[in-house]
Structure 1
Amino acid sequence: MGYVLDTSDIPAPDRVEAVHTAMMHASAPCHVLHENPDGGIHARMEVWDLGNANIFTHRSSGIRLLRTAKLARQDGMPVIALSVQQRADGRIEQRARQRVVPPGELLVVDLSGAYDFSWSGDGAAGCLQIPYDQLGLPLDLVRRAAFEVAASPLYPMVTAHIAQLSRRAAGIATDAASATVAAASIDLARALLVSAARSGRHRQVRAETLLTRVRAFVRMRLADPDLTPAAIATAHGISLRQLYKVCAEANLSIEQWIISERLHRVRHELTQPDRQHVPIGVIALRWGFRDPTHFTRRFKARYGMTPSQWRRASAAARA
């Protein structure tokens, strides 16, 4: 499945809102600030599903993507982006560390955390976005490795691989072998991060394996309105206290993460053309939200607009 925004087809006064809506769909919720909001804003974004990951390409006039700590706290699904800069220097600040990334270089961003990313003038980048639970690595290892990837001997190979994915995103994503490419790409990303972190990962394997299994279990049962922490703990043969402990070590609130995952599924379904005539309440109920008022309040708090506004904005972006 592909999603494309090209502002050349959108009237100039509507481009700021169109880019913001597209960025919400393509990446993590953030504030989108344009270098010259009254000038010639232009952007082209593409998102292509690649197995359990996706390829996101973005070319635009000068832009700043500011994800605040408040926005980060509302998002319970960690996603890691491995991005190769294509045009202009990218500037990233995250966890009090800064880096300037010239064209042809790779950066790693924890999209679940706060960050400040920008470029000036006509810039472009292409990235592979991977849900954290697909990596099977401790989140602290990933965050530790993010600013150290250039030191890994795997850096040139992984950088070239992601650059190729970005250049040929549509063809690769729609190829019959895309699932194999996705698995190989995630394996390469995992190897790069482990190499960069130089960590004794074996010390946390048991706990992280459990957390990965819990995440997979929850994702498969999101539609069950009776999915609770107690039910999850019972299914894995552990105490509720142990479940909370494992989640706390990964900075994860299990209840908030379940709600976040359900909201993500509803939001995605609201963008599908073949679901446009299905009542929003029916879709919400399908993903475990029994109370429509509670669902609408949660959705607006997370995405900054009501479900009906999101559906309309997505339809307009497709048009």
Structure 2
Amino acid sequence: MLLLDLNTVPPRERVEAFRHALTDSLVPNDISHEEPEGGIHARMEMWRVGGLDLFATRNSGFQVRRTARHVRHHRDHPIVSVSLQPEGVHRAEVADRREFLGADDICVFHELSPRVYGWSGDAASQSIMFDTHRLGVPVDTVVRASSRLRASPLYGLVLEHLRGVWRDPGRLENDPGSEALASATTELVRALLLSAAHTEQTAEVRSTMDETLLTRITAYARAHLADRDLTPERIAAEHAVSVRRLYTLLSEAGISLEQWLITERLAKARRMLTSARHARLTIAAVSARCGFSTPSHFSRRFQAAYGMSPGEWRRQGPLALAEPHE
């Protein structure tokens, strides 16, 4: 949903329109703007995916200051924002700690902590809002973790997961799996925060790591579907468990690892074959990017699952979607 496009607003009204959109969609803040030659500009959008609000903005330079006064006027259910910076260099200050954030950084703010945030020149931000009650992480833990996220072994996994969520949020809004995706995303962020906040393996961290193990394993596997060497041994080693423990965990969840990987790879290939972004890729290239050993193996599997060849699916497009054959 488009919240604001300042190109449609008279120049003299843009500052107030920006302030109104940001305050209404998020929380009260003090906002100051740079004044570029063409005037301030911004485009803000929001999506609702399985109970999570996703907010994206691309705008000219600005700074948001959230003070203790603002904190006292928080909403009934405060939020934790987890943001990516796809464009520009962002500045953040929390608890007297200042840092610069780029494309490979995750930025975390708790609504109940004062902060300063912004950038100079044109840049963009993508934020997911987590209800603090649903996330279940105390404010002091969030603040402590926010400066130490990269110390967590989960950092890279969560970063790739968040990037995946942001590839096409509009498509995710009405997807039947949106609730499960929201739950998995919440679990991964909670695990990252607790892991980063505690240098030692406390009982709370160990419990959270155990509870989120299945979610972390499936998220890791989805992020590496293109790797032909995505073996049970590699997956188990990446998560510090034995292969036997891996298979036991998956079996308890009703998952056959080999079949699950084939299903995920086929689903990825099916999306790629009808995506404008991948329209110039050959079927062999799609096969390779989805982790199949050979194009012929990919074609056989695709035909068995969907009742048509990859080429037929590409020609007929998404309206040809059918349930996999038993």
Answer whether TM exceeds 0.5 for this pair: yes
Q: CA deviation at 1:37?
A: 7.1
CA distance in structure 2 between the aligned counterparts of 1:107 and 1:191, rounded to whole angstroms = 15
The answer (yes or no) to whether the contact 1:52–1:131 under 8 Å persists in 2 is no
The answer (yes or no) to whether the contact 1:28–1:112 under 8 Å persists in 2 is no
Q: CA deviation at 1:165?
A: 2.1
Q: CA deviation at 1:39?
A: 4.7
**Which residue of 2 is the match for residue 236 of structure 1?**
none
CA distance in structure 1 between the aligned counterparts of 2:37 and 2:16, rounded to whole angstroms = 13
What SS is found at the alignment partner of 1:167? coil
CA distance in structure 2 between the aligned counterparts of 1:62 and 1:148, rounded to whole angstroms = 27
Q: CA deviation at 1:138?
A: 2.8
- Larger Cα Rg: Structure 1 or Structure 2? 2
Q: Aligned in 2, Cα 1:37/1:112: closer, same or farther, shift over 3 Å? A: farther
Q: Residues 182-231 of structure 1: CA distance to partner in whole angstroms, max 9, x if unpaired?
A: 1111011011111111263549x9xxxxxxxxxxxxxxxxxxxxxxxxxx
**Which residue of 2 is the match for residue 184 of structure 1?**
184
Letter in 2 for 1:111: E
The answer (yes or no) to whether the contact 2:78–2:112 under 8 Å persists in 1 is yes
The answer (yes or no) to whether the contact 1:49–1:173 under 8 Å persists in 2 is yes
**Which residue of 2 is the match for residue 132 of structure 1?**
132
Letter in 2 for 1:149: L
RMSD of aligned Cα (Å): 2.0
The answer (yes or no) to whether the contact 2:82–2:109 under 8 Å persists in 1 is yes
Structure 1: where are the runs of 5+ without partners? Answer: 206-319
Letter in 2 for 1:55: L
Q: Aligned in 2, Cα 1:167/1:125: closer, same or farther, shift over 3 Å? A: farther
CA distance in structure 2 between the aligned counterparts of 1:168 and 1:112, rounded to whole angstroms = 30
Q: Residues 156-190 of structure 1: CA distance to partner in whole angstroms, max 9, x if unpaired?
A: 12112222323312111232221111111101101
Asked if 1:13 is matched to 2:12, the reply is yes
Letter in 1 for 2:191: A
Q: Residues 26-47 of structure 1: CA distance to partner in whole angstroms, max 9, x if unpaired?
A: 2221112111177521101112
Letter in 2 for 1:126: Q
TM-score under structure 1 length normalisation: 0.60
Q: CA deviation at 1:52?
A: 3.0
CA distance in structure 1 between the aligned counterparts of 2:19 and 2:164, rounded to whole angstroms = 27
**Which residue of 2 is the match for residue 148 of structure 1?**
148
Asked if 1:49 is matched to 2:48, the reply is yes
Asked if 1:162 is matched to 2:168, the reply is no
CA distance in structure 1 between the aligned counterparts of 2:91 and 2:98, rounded to whole angstroms = 7
The 5 A counterparts of 1:129-278 are 129-198=129-198, 200=202, 202=204
What SS is found at the alignment partner of 2:166? helix
CA distance in structure 2 between the aligned counterparts of 1:124 and 1:24, rounded to whole angstroms = 17
**Which residue of 1 is the match for residue 60 of structure 2?**
61
What SS is found at the alignment partner of 2:153? coil
The answer (yes or no) to whether the contact 2:110–2:139 under 8 Å persists in 1 is no
The answer (yes or no) to whether the contact 1:127–1:162 under 8 Å persists in 2 is no
Q: Aligned in 2, Cα 1:107/1:173: closer, same or farther, shift over 3 Å? A: same
Q: CA deviation at 1:81?
A: 0.9
**Which residue of 1 is the match for residue 86 of structure 2?**
86
Letter in 1 for 2:189: A
The answer (yes or no) to whether the contact 1:63–1:118 under 8 Å persists in 2 is yes
What SS is found at the alignment partner of 2:22? helix
Structure 1 moving runs of 4+ over 4 Å: none
Higher relative contact order (CA 8 A, sep 6+): 1
The answer (yes or no) to whether the contact 1:81–1:129 under 8 Å persists in 2 is yes
Q: Aligned in 2, Cα 1:168/1:25: closer, same or farther, shift over 3 Å? A: farther
Letter in 1 for 2:108: V
Q: Residues 227-249 of structure 1: CA distance to partner in whole angstroms, max 9, x if unpaired?
A: xxxxxxxxxxxxxxxxxxxxxxx
Q: Aligned in 2, Cα 1:69/1:138: closer, same or farther, shift over 3 Å? A: closer
What SS is found at the alignment partner of 2:20? helix
**Which residue of 2 is the match for residue 265 of structure 1?**
none
Provide the aligned length of Structure 1 versus Structure 2: 203
The answer (yes or no) to whether the contact 1:145–1:197 under 8 Å persists in 2 is yes
Structure 2: where are the runs of 5+ without partners? Answer: 208-326
Q: CA deviation at 1:78?
A: 2.6
CA distance in structure 1 between the aligned counterparts of 2:191 and 2:197, rounded to whole angstroms = 10
**Which segment is superposed worse, 161-170 or 13-22?**
161-170
Q: Residues 130-167 of structure 1: CA distance to partner in whole angstroms, max 9, x if unpaired?
A: 01111122332222111111111111121122223233
TM-score under structure 2 length normalisation: 0.58
CA distance in structure 2 between the aligned counterparts of 1:65 and 1:74, rounded to whole angstroms = 16
The 5 A counterparts of 1:270-309 are none
CA distance in structure 2 between the aligned counterparts of 1:21 and 1:160, rounded to whole angstroms = 32
